Amino acid sequence: MKKSVFLFFMVLFLASEVDGQIVIPVKENLQNEKTINLSEIASDIRFVPLETTDDCLLGGDCYIQYADGQIFVSSDLLYRFDGKTGKFLNKIGSKGQGPGEYTNSLRYTVNPATKRVYVLQFKTMLEYDYEGNFLRTLPADNHNVGACCLLNDTQLVYANDSYNYTTENQADQLYTVDLQKGKIIGKIASPVDKKLRGALNLSSFDFFYRYNGQVCFKGSFQDEIYQIQSPKKKVPVYVLDRGFLKADYGKKNAEIDPRNRMKGIQIQNIFETDNYLLVSYTNEKNSYQGVFDKGEHSFVNAVDKNGKAGFTNDLTGGPSLIIFPFQVSPEGTIVNALNAGYLVEHRKDFEIDNPRLPSRKAEWDKVLDNLTEDSNPVIFLVTVKSGR
């Protein structure tokens, strides 16, 4: 009997890895929910209300990055704010089709070592300094509107998110630009399933994240999470098991119709800590905040007391935390941005007794006191716990 039990658990353990990749069992735990407090994964939280002036009115859809003590926000333009006070500092570049101008600023990344900002366009990459001055144009071959990330202080990697339209057996998906030499120095191919070739995915997007000094990448059509080891090499480290709940892209342009979007399990963003992989995803237009325990290889969906996705903020009170898409977090800090109107309207709903961080709670109350429905978003900077 003991031998049988031992073999059973060995099978479970082996089933959690495939070809060296750790399997994250999303599909089989879709209904597995648990109320999880923010204090279980985080030790601190700060609130940064972004200044609201006529020069920096932000729209509803923003791409946000916190880097080098600064907050960069892409809305109609790219803006820079102070990361402590939220004071508006300056615009970066300008919108247009002339030299040094961008048609959109949705995909960008920041290099704190050189205090440079890189904005990707369809075929090029524009470099600016922190003050917003245009410096030069760099190559970005075959780029559409995919994600980008610093591989290190001198190299930038970006995803060609139109790679799946190619007719080749393999297509170059990841490109690395040497920022000192000003040229592409490496390409990494990705096998493209023929049945997906030409499909349109508007429910999720390619994204990068950083953990333990390494850059990881998740493609919108792929289940694998890759670690990028060099400009020409990536290795799979996790695979997200979506099972039969993958979206059906049999009709190539089905997602042009909004009614067909957010079907199946769609991975939106990932944040990795020493203990957990935090996986935000959607299924049939419902949001989920998955929590994969790296030690136990277990997966559960975090919900608050009302059954909504997210970690209950027992540190200060406030809305539950979820890892949102288009909000790029540095190692050790989760970045969230929430609409001021929503915070004002639901202020009473966020109240809790005996917050774990009373001083931060006082700061939170002060932020709320000064908000109006027309204020710019409030940035939440959450410090995650390290080690077990």
* CA-wise closest residue to 78 among 113, 115, 112, 110: 110
Q: What pLDDT is attached to residue 353?
A: 93
Percent of the chain topping pLDDT 70 = 89
- Residue bearing the bigger pLDDT, 362 or 388: 362
pLDDT of residue 382: 98
pTM for the model stands at 0.91
Q: What is the pLDDT of residues 348-360, one digit of tens each?
A: 999 999 999 999 9
Does the pLDDT value for residue 283 go beyond 70?
yes
Whether the pLDDT of residue 73 is over 70: the answer is yes
Lowest mean pLDDT among 130-139, 158-167, 272-281: 158-167
Superfamily of domain 21-384: TolB, C-terminal domain (2.120.10.30)
For residues 259-269, average pLDDT: 90
pLDDT confidence band for 3 (50 / 70 / 90): very low
Cα–Cα dist 128/150, whole Å: 15
Is the Cβ–Cβ distance between 174 and 184 less than 8 Å? no
DSSP letters, 57-104, are ---SS-EEEEETTEEEEESSSEEEEETTT--EEEEES-BSSSTT-BS-
The angle at the Cα of 347, spanning 342 to 348, to the nearest 5 degrees, equals: 140
| Neighbour-count burial for 347-365, b at 16+ CB within 10 Å, e otherwise | eeeeeeeebbbeebbeebe
Per-residue pLDDT tens for 306-349?
899 999 999 999 999 999 999 999 999 999 999 999 999 999 99
Q: How confident is the model at residue 19 (pLDDT cuts 50, 70, 90)?
A: low
Which has more pLDDT, 103 or 155?
A: 155
Which pLDDT value is given to residue 14?
Answer: 42
**Which of the four pLDDT bands, split at 50, 70 and 90, describes residue 61?**
confident
Mean of the per-residue pLDDT values for the chain? 89
Please report which confidence band the pLDDT of residue 123 belongs to, taking 50, 70 and 90 as the band edges: confident
Spatial CA neighbour of 29 closest among 265, 320, 311: 265
Of 122-136, 241-255, 339-353, 371-385, least confident by mean pLDDT is 241-255
Distances (CA, A) of 128 to 49, 102, 347: 25, 11, 39
- Position 269 pLDDT exceeds 80: yes
Average pLDDT over residues 64-91: 96
